[in-house]
Chain A
């Protein structure tokens, strides 16, 4: 499903979540997944302040197949935006970063209101919260959304598959803890879908 074939391009991804929704870890895991799958370089850039649970959180990943990544600055024109919480789309500064050409991956059971989207936006939904609740994949402040969101992202982009996720997650969290992660990732991988809209 990958829509960028330029091997020299550095793919830029932004993560929008709320404190506790594990978006920052997601940016790090995405860098690891891409690197594991043969990307030459990757960087994860969390924006760290003094956030509380529930406050808007941003993180970025840059992924490069061939070139060394030399920049450390934030992503302004993302190729992909991964939205952990639809309420963040009510924030004007976040809406403003949705620019023509971007692909959105949104944690939502149902299609969302697209009337404020610019032209030429593709968007996918995956019910990450529902999957986490169903599979009891929770931590102290709610569902662990990064795994299903990354499962969905892998399917959409083809940058990595479930086997890559297995390798990275087992190495990071061990096989015992990792198994549930993979079950959650598989469900998101299989259920993410593009929403066509006018």
Chain B
């Protein structure tokens, strides 16, 4: 640990930085106490930047651990969090898969760990570019999963994450995912907030007594990692995690509201963010940076006189079922665009499946068009997204689906294969 002579105080400033650097600044602003790191593209510059901060004495009191694999990253973070510290790490794609055993453990132990994911396509074939299949594959781990749609949102969402995760009613870990390269390596203006303002917004760092439910303290011995027999409380523990996940929806909304009143930046109701939805005939749901780019597509089509809207899905877990039903109620046709796959599922796209499932028995019969695009970092252009809206408009007006539907899903931007 670097012994800083005095506290390092970050002043509010707006700087042009990469998405990865925004994630690192957020961890610094949150005064995380333990960082465990192993490099993997495209996340690497997150932990590189943090090591620079620690080395420069800009993160007094932070322990930076270098380990030999992602599995150990999460194992060491679990140890640190169990001892009662605020923890942070970052990973991507294969690194996350290697970490997977410990990912389940962190949620089962109810540890409020925050981890950023610069999302990367699974191999083979090797591919280091944007694709959310990595974080989506943690769907059933018990981690909360959110998406950031721009550079500022990465910083903001990491801060919100600590407030949500560390709430004693929640105590679940959380992933903040954003597109590898599309956000991790592009640069935009990001406002880094005053240290005092962040300190006031976040809960105080845990004291030496740690979290209320789990601790490593010789004065208060506690058994960890013990076996539970089938007749024990295993089912009840699992039910509690599910129940907490549902409870977290209110907490997420509350924190987003508080964030807006503190820092002035608006993120919808926390779970979703609607854009020009009030009089829209058709709309589309996106997540990650393509949700922001879709806003431009909506603006452009509105100028041409089309009544279109879009929705940014901020959370995948917990899934905002009620909000999705409300959104679907507003329009006649709703596109759901996935930059991820769910092989063999009803639509092939993970979020479009969730949306369809949310609408079952809701009494809403909105036509859903599942879309899959941009896998493995394939570029999704503004023109392509405008075309998706036009497809929805056409579907609404004529009932015609695009010609190249494959098993009920529109795979946009496929190469011609002979």
Q: Tell me if A115 counts as interface (CB < 8 A to partner B).
A: no
- Is A72 in contact with B182, judged by CB distance below 8 angstroms? yes
Give Cα distance in the complex from A72 to B295, angstroms: 12
Q: Tell me if B391 counts as interface (CB < 8 A to partner A).
A: no
Closest A residue to B290 by beta carbon equals A72
Q: Contacts A71-B296, A73-B379 known; A32 to B183 CB distance under 8 Å? A: no
Chain B residues with CB under 8 Å of A69's CB are 188
Chain A residues with CB under 8 Å of B381's CB are 73-74, 76
Q: Tell me if A44 counts as interface (CB < 8 A to partner B).
A: yes
Closest B residue to A41 by beta carbon equals B189
Q: Which of A42, A71, A76 contacts B16 (CB 8 A)?
A: A42
Q: Tell me if B147 counts as interface (CB < 8 A to partner A).
A: no
Q: Contacts A70-B292, A70-B295, A73-B293 known; A43 to B185 CB distance under 8 Å? A: no
Give Cα distance in the complex from A69 to B295, angstroms: 10
Q: Which of B16, B182, B183, B382 contacts A44 (CB 8 A)?
A: B16
Interface 1/0s, chain A 97-120, versus B by CB < 8 A?
000000000000000000000000
Q: Which of B42, B181, B187, B293 contacts A71 (CB 8 A)?
A: B293
Give Cα distance in the complex from A31 to B187, angstroms: 8
- Is A74 in contact with B186, judged by CB distance below 8 angstroms? no
Q: Which of A48, A70, A73 contacts B181 (CB 8 A)?
A: A48
Chain B residues with CB under 8 Å of A32's CB are 16
Q: Tell me if A46 counts as interface (CB < 8 A to partner B).
A: yes
Give Cα distance in the complex from A72 to B181, angstroms: 10
Inter-chain residue pair count (beta carbon < 8 A): 51
Give Cα distance in the complex from A44 to B17, angstroms: 9
Q: Tell me if B289 counts as interface (CB < 8 A to partner A).
A: yes
Q: Tell me if B277 counts as interface (CB < 8 A to partner A).
A: no
Give Cα distance in the complex from A32 to B290, angstroms: 24
Q: Interface size (A, Cβ < 8 Å)?
A: 18
Give Cα distance in the complex from A43 to B188, angstroms: 5
Interface 1/0s, chain B 165-187, versus A by CB < 8 A?
00000000000000001110111
Give the secondary structure class of A's interface: mixed
Q: Contacts A44-B187, A73-B380 known; A28 to B16 CB distance under 8 Å? A: yes
Chain A residues with CB under 8 Å of B42's CB are 48
Q: Tell me if A84 counts as interface (CB < 8 A to partner B).
A: no
Interface 1/0s, chain B 1-35, versus A by CB < 8 A?
00000000000000010100000000000000000
Return A70 CB to nearest CB of chain B, in Å: 4
Query: Chain B, interface size: which category?
Result: 20 to 34
Q: Contacts A42-B188, A43-B186 known; A72 to B16 CB distance under 8 Å? A: no
Q: Contacts A35-B16, A71-B293, A73-B293 known; A44 to B379 CB distance under 8 Å? A: no
Chain B residues with CB under 8 Å of A11's CB are none
Give Cα distance in the complex from A108 to B74, angstroms: 52
Chain B residues with CB under 8 Å of A74's CB are 379, 381
Give Cα distance in the complex from A42 to B151, angstroms: 12
- Is A72 in contact with B189, judged by CB distance below 8 angstroms? no
Give Cα distance in the complex from A31 to B380, angstroms: 22
- Is B187 in contact with A43, judged by CB distance below 8 angstroms? yes
- Is A46 in contact with B188, judged by CB distance below 8 angstroms? no
Give Cα distance in the complex from A69 to B292, angstroms: 9
Give Cα distance in the complex from A26 to B187, angstroms: 12
Q: Tell me if A89 counts as interface (CB < 8 A to partner B).
A: no
Return A177 CB to nearest CB of chain B, in Å: 16
Return A160 CB to nearest CB of chain B, in Å: 13
User: Which B residues are within 8 Å of any A CB, using their own CB?
Assistant: 16, 18, 42, 181-183, 185-189, 289-290, 292-293, 295-296, 299, 379-382
6 residue pairs, one from A and one from B, having the closest CB atoms: A70-B296, A44-B187, A73-B381, A32-B16, A45-B186, A43-B188
Q: Please, could you name 27 A-B residue pairs with CB atoms under 8 Å apart, sorted by A?
A: A28-B16, A28-B18, A31-B187, A31-B188, A35-B189, A41-B189, A42-B188, A43-B186, A44-B186, A44-B187, A44-B188, A46-B185, A46-B186, A48-B42, A48-B185, A69-B188, A70-B296, A71-B293, A71-B296, A71-B382, A72-B183, A72-B290, A72-B293, A73-B379, A73-B382, A74-B379, A76-B381
Q: 17 more A-B contacts (CB under 8 A) besides A28-B187, A76-B381?
A: A31-B187, A31-B188, A35-B189, A42-B16, A43-B186, A43-B188, A44-B186, A44-B187, A44-B188, A46-B186, A70-B292, A70-B296, A70-B299, A71-B296, A73-B293, A73-B382, A74-B379
